Structure 1
Amino acid sequence: MKRTITLLLLTFYCTIGSAQNNATDKKIAELLSKMTLEEKIGQMTQITLGTFEEKGKPGLSLAKLNEGIQKYYIGSVLNTPNRYSPDTKEWRQIMTTIHNANSKNRLPIPVLYGIDAIHGASYTMGATLFPQQIGMAATFNTEIVKKGAEISAYETRASSIPWVFSPDLDLPRNPAWSRIWESFGEDTYLTSRMGEAMVNGFEGGNIGSKYHVASCMKHFIGYGSTTTGKDRTPSIIPERVLRQFDLPIYEAAIKAGAKSVMISSGEINGTPVHASKYLITDVLKKELGFKGVVVTDWKDIIYLHTRHKVAETNREAVKIAVLAGVDMSMVPEDYSFCIDLLDLVNKGEIPMSRIDDAVSRILKMKIELNLFEGTVADPKQYPKFGSAEFINEAYNAAAESITLLRNKNAVLPLNKNEKILVTGPTANSMVALNGGWTYTWQGDKTDELVPDKLTILEAIQQKAGTSNVLYTKGADLALENEDEINKAVALAKDASKIILCLGEKNYTETPGDITSLYITAPQIKLALALVKLNKPIILVLNEGRPRLISDFEDKIDAIVQCYLPGNEGGRALAAILYGEVNPSGRLPYNYPRFPNSLEKYNRKYTESLADSEQNDDAKYQRSYNPQFEFGTGLSYTTFEYSNLKLDKTEVNSNDEIKVSVDVTNTGRMAGKESVLLYLSDLYASITPEVKALKRFEKIVLAPNETKTVQFTLNQKDLQFVNNDLKWISEKGTFKVQIGNQNKQFVLK
């Protein structure tokens, strides 16, 4: 009976879905039949809001807005006012002004507004801000990531904005890259699962809901793999590698329902991605079956002419990109795209079929978002905006992301009655806790915009009392200041322990490019001065990428990586330092020791060869010797793995493999443990990885509690991409590793 009811419900919902699709297709066809070429091209055009402002004056210029909407029929707007991030009331005013201008058009197709909601509704004052993506990856908890995206969607919709340029699905290959903190780290499987969770949270299976938004996966493809580590510089990625490690991430997000994709600003093997019909049309749209909107990043069609030099004119750049498969151009500051595209179509250089395909995709997303029913949010429908409930979720996310990397002699947790020194340039800064894409592009105004939020120092003072907490800045991030170092050394003499807060300035994109991966010189000098005192030091790293600390790390007693944990990060860190929260984060990347040793955890065997003839120091007699490996993360309790079982020792090409392992909390404190399953293909015709993450699950265990964790591996987990660009598996032996346990099975 239950099966019958289930089949009837499935049939019912499939019928409804089919009817909705038919209605959508019919509406798109009707609109296309009525639209002029100019109106269609307008739908393909995205302009930044600042274009409609008068320089130095608040508010929008109606004359400039009317030019964009009523002369060029622009279909999309992005970004914030040039001077500030609005609150929800101001966002409603902006959207109302745009709606009123658009309503005067012959065909008032609603304007689609997009925003960089990177770690929450980060361009809306009062919104709930979560850890940046790299910290969310460190939770190894897809439910936290999904919940964070749901809250971000709710608060973005409360801002009358239906489209977010997130998640970032880039796979960084160089830790110096300035956008590594916007990614989920260096692993394909982890990024795929986190990306799925974020898409599901944003979209909720129904982007027409007033509490969900359309997501935009970015940046397709290879953007995070620049050979120099500098932003928007060339990548060299063999297609076999691209297909095995990068493409599956986007494939997973597409299957999850992502409605749009932003194209990489970079080039791969000499071809800018915006110029690649193969990657955008043949691979993304045809092979992966992506039916959504393909949008450029900032000015990237223009850059085909001015930067990449593959187009002699802007007109040629427009032609190349649109024929490659771009549906919407983030122009974003003029109407050159409209003018050039109109000329290209009128002269027969771009077929109308390509225009209609692009516009159909855009109209479909607008219909699915229910924008034809209204674009301005009703504030009464969003009572939870910025609520204590949402803030608590952000706090929990920060608490699960913070990663304990060392705890020598159990120096942590701290005692609230002991006197400590808090020092370092990131100790008293909300800018440092949040990083870029926070109220402004570079996140430089966060301290003044959220005075009620707690820095690391303030959160520690709240826990231990100001009388037990000494403070001095100790050093600047970039400028040498001997006086500050001397102050820190003097104060440290009166403290039992030192909390040393080091990290980076705020940045994203090209302004974050660096020439050295080492943490900055003033911070190294501060650390070296303090370690001479022979007092316990707790190093708190507050950074977007792993800056090298090998000049002094061996003299540090405890190391805590808090990444960019957001507005609630100071509170979460203090709770961990004082033992109120048991840390459970794990590194989503290898933390390198030296600038010329940047191997990933899933390295090849030849990257682990001994090189003792080059280096006599026994400590460094292997070329693979990261400071901390991917997946590293300690707890205040201890976990023991036992009884690893495989349901088969021999499998054929159709079998699944069921894996189970027992995990026991052998300590005295409840804790959360991320159980990571790695798989190794011991021999293969393409040199295999030493190990690759294939499954993970986060569990909670009380003291002395044991749980059995179960995983199922399928045939895709055993496969790799060969030189014919085909996914294959080969007969041979595979090893499963979970914790200190491992078992082998044979594929026959």
Structure 2
Amino acid sequence: MPRAPFAARLPVALVLALAATATAACGTDATAPTDPPTQAAPYLDPTLPVDERVEDLLARMDLADKIGQMTQAERGSITTETVTALRLGSVLSGGGSAPDPNTPQAWADMYDDFQAAAAQTPLGIPILYGIDAVHGNNTLTGATVFPHNIGLGATRDPALVEKIGQATAEEVAATGADWTFSPCLCVARDDRWGRTYESFGEDPALVTSMTPIITGYQGATLGGSPSSILATAKHFVADGGTSGGVDQGDAVLTDAELRAIHLPPYLAAIEADVASIMVTFSSVNGEKAHGSTALLTDLLKDELGFDGFVVSDWNGIDQIDAYAGFTHQEVVQAINAGIDMVMVPTEYDAFITHLTTAVEDGEVEMSRIDDANRRILTKKFELGLFEAPLADRTLAETVGSDEHRALAREAVAKSQVVLTNDGVLPISTASRVLVTGSGADDLGNQAGGWTITWQGASGDTIEGTTVLEAAEAAFAAADAGGTVVSERRLSDETLAEVAGQVDVAIAVVGETPYAEFEGDRPDGVRLTGFDVVTLQALRDAGIPTVVVVYSGRPIDLGGAEQWANALVAGWLPGSEGAGVTDVLLGAVDPTGTLPMSWPASAEQQPINVGDGQVPLFDLGAGLVGPLG
């Protein structure tokens, strides 16, 4: 379904404003292009080939237009007037940055306001609006929240992942946003890294197999449907291979290791025509990727043939010289290295000044600026932004829809990895069940980081169903005489009150939300807090127990795997906890297998298949098929 023609979707007032802008641009303002647009301007003709439109537009652009296209600012630091005055090429929402109220309509209103401001620039070039929709449109209240990538890797189901990409794109496009900073194609090699859950796994072949999510986001052809959005493969390159699992650290590896472990997913992404690639904060062998010509131009663009555009990460160019506050030299180095669009959330004025001076002084060649603009403008034309720049509000009905939640529930069930089972699973709805643990009735813990806010939070942060709620609903629907009781915190005293009343316990334990470097665990990943007390109480009471682990990575269970009657890796399932109970109660047979080696202890990191270590559970482990 092609996008509607520009005039058919644009408000009459804005069409008139565009016409007035074009007329005004014919004046003698020194900042205006020498050949302002008219109704007959070739770049405005959707019947012409994209490359012809790009070249026509590029010939009309002055330096301010071109550098504006290379600049991305954060919505909270600008106004619509900023977009017009600086001719910005892109706006983003950082983690948790949303309009108030946080509704599809408010997002669409905000987006349309920014696009209207872009239409007032001399050439009327639309903006791209980028967000971190990394497991659904996860910043939007009411959106479907899918499992994080680590859980999707456990499904081993590329077709399912493509459907999730398409569903996410629909819920993103409903708000107007047209670019997601996803998928993360890192190959996570050390579970201590705080972004491990953004990876599909430790195996390059597994991560590579999940790249159909790009087609889900973009569609078979970019701009071929109203829900088509730009995808971003990130973070180039080897961000999952830093020493010690340190976020934004240094990946020390040979060229052969780089190519064998970390490059394959990017090759697949390029073959899938991914629109953009984001640079990693990290270094490779001591060189910051944001300033590396060898990585961004020689390898990515020249050798691998990437023809989309390269975007920096949040203030990433500021890390090139290791000192706070980006400098003129950092701007020069980053652009010459091959970055096309620069994410400068608040320091956009300084960036524009530095780059303008650098071009005028010959430190950055105009050919490099033109190359960056060709790459950016090509994607804008392909997406259809010049014909349909405004939000498609008819897609609002897809946000949190029954269809999308059913898809998420399917993904959750397929992501569950049953690691052990002595016969306690599946649980009969005629049983008396105790549901306990920090994650049993906590949607925030269930969803993890990058959910509503950047780091995420415990509590009722999203709309969804917890394991406790799903179990209660399933038992009520079965009407088989079973009961569900809950006790979030267990101690010897509280357990004594319920021990004689239950046949089996479901203990949902694990990590609380985090993202990026806040989630680094240099001393290893372990159970903490009252989850430890809960498991000890269940063990001491001798109650048959199913331990479900909500975590973004394998976690040291403190020996619980030795006495628990069943152990399930539940990952970070998102909004649809019923997918977990579908497996626990036998409605769905388990099919998930481990996307990472599960260490025997926290001290065994890093551990990966083929390194000679013996894990507690191997990569690919998991009981598959009927459990009864």
Contact 2:331-2:355 at 8 Å conserved across structures: yes
Residue 499 of structure 2 is matched in structure 1 by 492
Which residue of the other structure, out of 390, 399, 402, is the alignment partner of 1:388?
402
Residue 674 of structure 1 is matched in structure 2 by none
Tell me, in whole angstroms, the C-alpha distance in 1 between the residues paired with 2:272 and 2:443. 34
**Segment drifting more, 381-390 vs 127-136:** 381-390
Residue 366 of structure 2 is matched in structure 1 by 352
Distance 1:626 1:91, change over 3 A: same
Alignment partner of 1:564: what SS? coil
Distance 1:399 1:449, change over 3 A: closer
Residue 173 of structure 2 is matched in structure 1 by 157
* Residue 483 of structure 2 is aligned to residue 459 of structure 1: no
Contact 1:28-1:360 at 8 Å conserved across structures: yes
Alignment partner of 2:202: what SS? coil
Tell me, in whole angstroms, the C-alpha distance in 2 between the residues paired with 1:529 and 1:289. 58
Tell me, in whole angstroms, the C-alpha distance in 2 between the residues paired with 1:164 and 1:76. 12
Residue 509 of structure 1 is matched in structure 2 by 516
CA deviation after TM superposition for structure 1 residue 536, in Å: 0.9
Matched residue count: 575
1:423-438, aligned counterparts within 5 Å?
Answer: 423-438=436-451
Contact 1:489-1:529 at 8 Å conserved across structures: no
Tell me, in whole angstroms, the C-alpha distance in 1 between the residues paired with 2:563 and 2:487. 21
1:18-29, aligned counterparts within 5 Å?
Answer: 23-29=49-55
Which residue of the other structure, out of 534, 555, 571, is the alignment partner of 2:542?
534
Give the partner amino acid of 1:434: A
Residue 296 of structure 2 is matched in structure 1 by 280
1:700-719, aligned counterparts within 5 Å?
Answer: none
* Residue 571 of structure 2 is aligned to residue 555 of structure 1: no
Alignment partner of 1:395: what SS? helix
Alignment partner of 1:538: what SS? strand
| Post-superposition CA distance 1:230-250 (Å, at most 9, x none) | 321222121110011111110
| Post-superposition CA distance 1:711-740 (Å, at most 9, x none) | xxxxxxxxxxxxxxxxxxxxxxxxxxxxxx
| Post-superposition CA distance 1:94-138 (Å, at most 9, x none) | 012112222221111001111111111222233222111111111
Residue 575 of structure 2 is matched in structure 1 by 567
Tell me, in whole angstroms, the C-alpha distance in 2 between the residues paired with 1:492 and 1:254. 56
| Post-superposition CA distance 1:493-546 (Å, at most 9, x none) | 432211111111111101212233222254223312321112211101011111
Contact 1:216-1:260 at 8 Å conserved across structures: yes
CA deviation after TM superposition for structure 1 residue 458, in Å: 1.3
CA deviation after TM superposition for structure 1 residue 162, in Å: 1.3
1:40-51, aligned counterparts within 5 Å?
Answer: 40-51=66-77
Give the partner amino acid of 1:50: G
Residue 598 of structure 2 is matched in structure 1 by 591
CA deviation after TM superposition for structure 1 residue 296, in Å: 0.6
CA deviation after TM superposition for structure 1 residue 397, in Å: 1.0
Contact 1:130-1:565 at 8 Å conserved across structures: yes
Alignment partner of 2:295: what SS? helix
Alignment partner of 1:252: what SS? helix
Give the partner amino acid of 1:77: V
Residue 473 of structure 1 is matched in structure 2 by 488
Distance 1:277 1:341, change over 3 A: same
CA deviation after TM superposition for structure 1 residue 312, in Å: 9.4
Tell me, in whole angstroms, the C-alpha distance in 1 between the residues paired with 2:601 and 2:178. 44
CA deviation after TM superposition for structure 1 residue 383, in Å: 4.4
Residue 241 of structure 1 is matched in structure 2 by 257
CA deviation after TM superposition for structure 1 residue 489, in Å: 5.1
Tell me, in whole angstroms, the C-alpha distance in 2 between the residues paired with 1:351 and 1:293. 18
For structure 2, which runs of at least 5 residues remain unmatched after alignment? 1-44
Tell me, in whole angstroms, the C-alpha distance in 1 between the residues paired with 2:362 and 2:111. 37
More strand by share: 1
Give the partner amino acid of 1:469: V
Distance 1:381 1:172, change over 3 A: closer
Distance 1:40 1:234, change over 3 A: same
For structure 1, which runs of at least 5 residues remain unmatched after alignment? 1-18, 53-63, 476-483, 608-623, 639-668, 670-748
Alignment partner of 1:86: what SS? coil
CA deviation after TM superposition for structure 1 residue 75, in Å: 0.6
Distance 1:601 1:271, change over 3 A: closer
Alignment partner of 1:633: what SS? coil
Tell me, in whole angstroms, the C-alpha distance in 2 between the residues paired with 1:85 and 1:134. 31
Tell me, in whole angstroms, the C-alpha distance in 1 between the residues paired with 2:461 and 2:250. 37
Residue 103 of structure 2 is matched in structure 1 by 87
Contact 2:161-2:210 at 8 Å conserved across structures: yes
Tell me, in whole angstroms, the C-alpha distance in 2 between the residues paired with 1:150 and 1:251. 21
Percent identity of the aligned residues? 35
Distance 1:378 1:627, change over 3 A: same
Alignment partner of 1:592: what SS? coil
Q: What is the TM-score when the length of structure 2 is the normalising length?
A: 0.88
| Post-superposition CA distance 1:548-594 (Å, at most 9, x none) | 114332011100111011111x1111121111111111110011112
Tell me, in whole angstroms, the C-alpha distance in 2 between the residues paired with 1:28 and 1:489. 73
Tell me, in whole angstroms, the C-alpha distance in 1 between the residues paired with 2:67 and 2:255. 33
Contact 2:458-2:513 at 8 Å conserved across structures: no
Which residue of the other structure, out of 196, 204, 227, is the alignment partner of 2:219?
204
| Post-superposition CA distance 1:294-321 (Å, at most 9, x none) | 001111012224xx25x99611111111
Which residue of the other structure, out of 339, 343, 346, is the alignment partner of 2:357?
343
Contact 2:591-2:625 at 8 Å conserved across structures: no
Alignment partner of 1:228: what SS? helix
* Residue 191 of structure 2 is aligned to residue 178 of structure 1: no
Tell me, in whole angstroms, the C-alpha distance in 2 between the residues paired with 1:314 and 1:427. 49
Contact 2:444-2:462 at 8 Å conserved across structures: no
Q: What is the TM-score when the length of structure 1 is the normalising length?
A: 0.74
Residue 554 of structure 2 is matched in structure 1 by 546
Residue 389 of structure 2 is matched in structure 1 by 375
Contact 2:548-2:570 at 8 Å conserved across structures: yes
CA deviation after TM superposition for structure 1 residue 65, in Å: 2.8
Distance 1:133 1:29, change over 3 A: same
Distance 1:516 1:601, change over 3 A: closer
* Residue 289 of structure 2 is aligned to residue 289 of structure 1: no
Tell me, in whole angstroms, the C-alpha distance in 1 between the residues paired with 2:385 and 2:451. 27
CA deviation after TM superposition for structure 1 residue 459, in Å: 1.1
Contact 1:178-1:545 at 8 Å conserved across structures: no
Contact 2:182-2:231 at 8 Å conserved across structures: yes
Distance 1:364 1:470, change over 3 A: same
* Residue 111 of structure 2 is aligned to residue 127 of structure 1: no
Contact 2:136-2:143 at 8 Å conserved across structures: yes
Tell me, in whole angstroms, the C-alpha distance in 2 between the residues paired with 1:313 and 1:534. 59
Give the partner amino acid of 1:516: G
Tell me, in whole angstroms, the C-alpha distance in 1 between the residues paired with 2:559 and 2:508. 16
* Residue 621 of structure 2 is aligned to residue 632 of structure 1: yes
Which residue of the other structure, out of 314, 320, 338, is the alignment partner of 2:333?
320
1:209-224, aligned counterparts within 5 Å?
Answer: 209-224=225-240
Tell me, in whole angstroms, the C-alpha distance in 1 between the residues paired with 2:552 and 2:493. 28
CA deviation after TM superposition for structure 1 residue 464, in Å: 2.3
Q: CA RMSD in A?
A: 2.2
Give the partner amino acid of 1:497: V
| Post-superposition CA distance 1:374-402 (Å, at most 9, x none) | 22223235644432222211111111111
Alignment partner of 1:262: what SS? strand
Tell me, in whole angstroms, the C-alpha distance in 1 between the residues paired with 2:459 and 2:503. 32
Residue 299 of structure 1 is matched in structure 2 by 315
Residue 729 of structure 1 is matched in structure 2 by none
Residue 12 of structure 1 is matched in structure 2 by none
Alignment partner of 2:320: what SS? helix
| Post-superposition CA distance 1:168-213 (Å, at most 9, x none) | 1001110111111111010011100102x11111112212121211
Contact 1:199-1:253 at 8 Å conserved across structures: yes
Which residue of the other structure, out of 118, 121, 144, is the alignment partner of 1:102?
118
Tell me, in whole angstroms, the C-alpha distance in 2 between the residues paired with 1:338 and 1:580. 58
